[in-house]
Structure 1
Amino acid sequence: MNKLVVGLLVVVMLLLGAVMYLLGNRHGAIESNARDTPTAVASEGGEVRPAEADVKPQATDLRQAVRVGIDGPHADACRGVGSVANLPANDTLSVREGPNAKARRIDSLKDDAPVYICDQSADGKWIGIVYQANGYLPTDDKCRAEENVGSVRPYEGPCLTGWVSAKYVVPRGQDSDEPYVPEPAASSRYIFDAEGFGSSEVVAANYLYLKGDRRAKEEGGTVVDRGKRTCNSTGQGGEKAWVCRTTYTYEK
């Protein structure tokens, strides 16, 4: 009988030891998770802001590509050349990933640094620029800022891009004491080639414009230029004796 009692006591003690071991591991895991989880930090103004680990993804969300072609398909990719101006003494101009003071700073420019003025924010307070790291602009349009791009699109050239405060940029040839006031952005313009066939030049031209107008409307645009029409005889009989072609331009 004594041996049986002793055996039961040993089993009970082993079970209690196992339970205590499991509880100790669970408590340690909870403390470890609490240490790894970012906590809120009180700002100077009394507001609660996320810890630094939570702030970084927000900065990434503010990134915005600099666009070219905002003045339409017949204008240069960028609006012109400007210079950094009106900076406080010994200060530099921050270049950011997006048109927002909270966007990540990616570079800085000195006073008088030349830049291509290419894009602007909706409120006109930020300018999207194209520039070179050496502080100069190429004389051979290496940055591809003066070519026609056909429609509004993100800049894809070899030079650097970013966003700067509009009050520290002035167009070349303008008094540096006057901050840059952007012109209203042009509507986005698009082009496409259209053609029409017919038994005569008149029929082919009418069919051409019918197709072109319909396509522009289907794409949600308003025709601004039907282009210069060219018509030629196809040398074939029947309804395809003539073909007319043109380049449509529409905006939306």
Structure 2
Amino acid sequence: MIAALLPFHGVLAQERLGQPIMPVTVPPTDGIAANCLGGVVTGLKPGGDGFLAVRAGPGTNHRMLDRLHSGNDVRICDRRGDWLGIVYGKGYCNDVDRASERARSYAGPCRSGWVHGRWIEVAEAG
């Protein structure tokens, strides 16, 4: 009986609830300079799936949480190899820029997760 419940605890429970198992880390900032870069989903293959999978962790072995499409805006806050930890959602997710002396795990209100960096173009600083 206990063994049957184990998959619903800890890491697997987070994935089942649609939360990243590896939270996106927002770097420290003074609240003036942006600490997460702006980016946009781009370069998806026209004959492909038509979406970029947002995953619970950095890798294809992690569960898909959401789908993004060409032109969707994201904030890039974290990186693990070729994988980017992003924050995204309707409107501008500027809560990632609030002053913080320490790095912190992103907890909302926007969504967060991991995408392969091949499909994200970093926005030019204006």
TM-score after normalising by structure 1: 0.39
Using CA pairs under 8 Å that are at least 6 residues apart, name the structure with larger relative contact order, 1 or 2.
2
Query: Which structure would you say has the larger Rg?
Result: 1
Paired position in structure 2 for 1:83: 40
Q: When you count helix as a share of all residues, which structure comes out higher?
A: 1
Deviation at 1:77, TM superposition (A): 6.3
CA deviations over 1:29-64 (Å, ceiling 9, x no partner)? xxxxxxxxxxxxxxxxxxxxxxxxxx999x838820
**Counterpart pick for 2:109 among 143, 158, 164:** 158
Q: What is the RMSD computed on CA atoms of the aligned residues?
A: 2.7
8 A Cα contact 2:40 2:71, kept in partner: yes
Q: Which amino acid aligns with 1:128?
A: G
Q: Which amino acid aligns with 2:25?
A: R
Paired position in structure 1 for 2:55: 96
Residues in 1 aligned to 2:8 and 2:64: alpha-carbon distance in whole angstroms = 12
**Counterpart pick for 1:115 among 66, 70, 74:** 74
Q: Secondary structure at the match of 1:145?
A: helix
**Counterpart pick for 2:83 among 126, 131, 137:** 126
Taking structure 1 as reference, are residues 170 and 56 closer, same or farther at Cα in structure 2, changes over 3 Å only? farther
Q: Secondary structure at the match of 2:95?
A: coil
Taking structure 1 as reference, are residues 77 and 119 closer, same or farther at Cα in structure 2, changes over 3 Å only? farther
Residues in 1 aligned to 2:105 and 2:87: alpha-carbon distance in whole angstroms = 11
Q: Secondary structure at the match of 1:130?
A: strand
Residues in 2 aligned to 1:168 and 1:56: alpha-carbon distance in whole angstroms = 32
- Structure 1 unpaired stretches of 5+: 1-54, 175-252
Deviation at 1:78, TM superposition (A): 3.8
- Structure 2 unpaired stretches of 5+: 1-6
> 1:116-195 counterparts in 2 under 5 A?
116-121=75-80, 123=81, 125-132=82-89, 134=90, 137-138=91-92, 143-173=94-124
Paired position in structure 1 for 2:25: 67
Identity rate, percent: 28
